[in-house]
Amino acid sequence: MERIELNTLLIFQSITLNGILDQIVMLWNIIKLPFVVPTLQVMVNVCLVMSVMLFMERVCMGIFKLFIILLRRKPETNYKWEAMQDDVEFGTSNYPMVLVQIPMYNEKEVYQLSIEAACELSWPSDKIIVQVLDDSSDQAIKELVEVECMKWKGKGINIKYEIRDNRNGYKAGALKEGLKHSYVSQCDFVAIFDADFQPESDFLKRTIPFFVHNHDIGLVQTRWKFVNANECLMTRMQEMSLNYHFSVEQEVGSQTCAFFGFNGTAGVWRIEALNEAGGWKDRTTVEDMDLAVRASLKGWKFVFVNDIKVKSELPSTFKAFRYQQHRWSCGPSNLFKKMAFEIATNKKVSFWKKLHMLYSFFLVRKVVAHIVTFAFYCIVLPLTVLVPEVQVPIWGIAYIPTVITILNAIETPRSLHLIIFWVVFENVMSMHRTKAAIVGLLEIGNVNEWVVTDKLGDASKIKASSNVPLLCTAPKKKSGPTIWGRLNKLEMVAAMFLFLCGWYDFVHGKNYLFIYIFLQCIAFLVVGFGYVGTFIPK
């Protein structure tokens, strides 16, 4: 009797489940052609337009870069540049006064490296002031930094240790307060180095001559050199993206329109240009880019020197990297919203320079690039396997992304064999960048959130002193179970979506798109589980 009742119940449940599934399928068939297909087709078309915009921008940048190489154009030949020389009669009087600012916040691992590098800059001792701007909240670290400053002061270095009683404006606020001290009035230029940057001793002797002989130059930006690029797969991926940024975007901007974004560190400003632009502002999380745009609109020219490289550190945990990318994606889109009208109506710069700033620099690179990477390759393209009525042209799926990828990766030839890893990792990160860009455009949520990127010091030194390989893994959260605490939920949801689309295409599709979808699914799973590092053979 009980067996009959159990069988009856199972049959009833099966009928009910089948009925529900039948209803879902019937509803899907009803709305598919009149609603789903047209909507998805519009999404595909919009994404294709954005892909073409990004493609054309990258190709044009590549062409300009090729001409720069073929014509052997160098900043030293484009602008008058002569090495600084001691005057036999007047000594160092022809050297301008330079202020070196080092903003820091709880930089226990790297403060000694940055202070030492700044104090060892080759420049007349009576013509340089090193200013350490310490916003640390940890009193013990503050004491360590102050002791380090006193040590160099005892060696005859003109070093100033400055603190504030608040952190208003974060880095921008610290730099702004630093310029208010009376001794700054005697300085002509200010060099800025974040706490994890160590310039070579000849840095000032190679940058300051640009200003001395060209009075319309307001900024000289140098390139970053990464001391921990070999630490793990994640740092190798970052190196590929940043090498393209410096070698192509920054150099082309400098050689053509003489405009590019200040990187916030490893650069020198003419204080006159900085003040004329309105000084530091903390209205966005990219105070460096904000200042560069305002100074450019005042007519100042910028120079990027690719041959001068300053040692720096890449984020080696996913948490730190994600916070950094949020800041770098949210801030530019927010600044774009705030300054678009001001740029368009400016009378001091040419039409082409304004077009470069609005279209290429802001719209394509800071907004379209993020949105199309995530929306097209992680959402729309996988969705098309569920709706075969929507067709995507082969040039949109293969040709355009292939060319863009090659143009980016060619600047880091030693990592060409990692190009697949770079593609899928960039697609994963595009989710966070897209979210940040939208937050910046709409000015909602954590639009002004500022989280300082954790530094670990010179990774090569860490490896040399330890037999344990260093992994790039997201730090475990203190609350909740160990496994649950390290999960990245958004990545896991995206992985599930991609798996379903990939499985459907594997069973029913004929275009082998499931291979790409499964690769992307694996990337989201790896990041979702918190394992974003791996060993890299040297």
The alpha-helical segments, DSSP class H, found in 312-385 are: 318-344, 351-355, 369-374, 381-384
144 Cβ neighbours under 8 A, 6+ residues apart: 108, 111
Give CA–CA dist 497/448, Å, rounded.
Answer: 31
Give CA–CA dist 30/26, Å, rounded.
Answer: 6
Give CA–CA dist 275/260, Å, rounded.
Answer: 19
Q: Which residues of 477-494 are buried (b: 16+ CB within 10 A; e: fewer)?
A: eeeeeeeeebbbeebeeb
Closest CA to 300 of 270, 320, 325: 270
Give the dihedral sign, CA 78/268/290/318: positive
Neighbours of 363 (CB within 10 A): 17
Give CA–CA dist 513/510, Å, rounded.
Answer: 8
The strand pair at 98-104 and 189-192 is best described as: parallel
Strand partners, 302: 219
Has 290 been annotated as catalytic?
no
Local structure of residue 220 (DSSP, 8 states):
E
CA gyration radius, the chain:
27
Closest CA to 185 of 271, 126, 263, 269: 271
Identified catalytic residue from 135, 194, 282, 458? 135
Residue indicated by tokens 């959130």: 449
Helices 419-442/318-344 angle, 10° precision: 50
Give CA–CA dist 187/179, Å, rounded.
Answer: 10
Has 454 been annotated as catalytic?
no
Helix, strand, coil: what percent of the chain each, to 5? 60, 10, 30
Give CA–CA dist 532/228, Å, rounded.
Answer: 16
Identified catalytic residue from 134, 196, 282, 288? 288
Positions marked catalytic: 135, 288
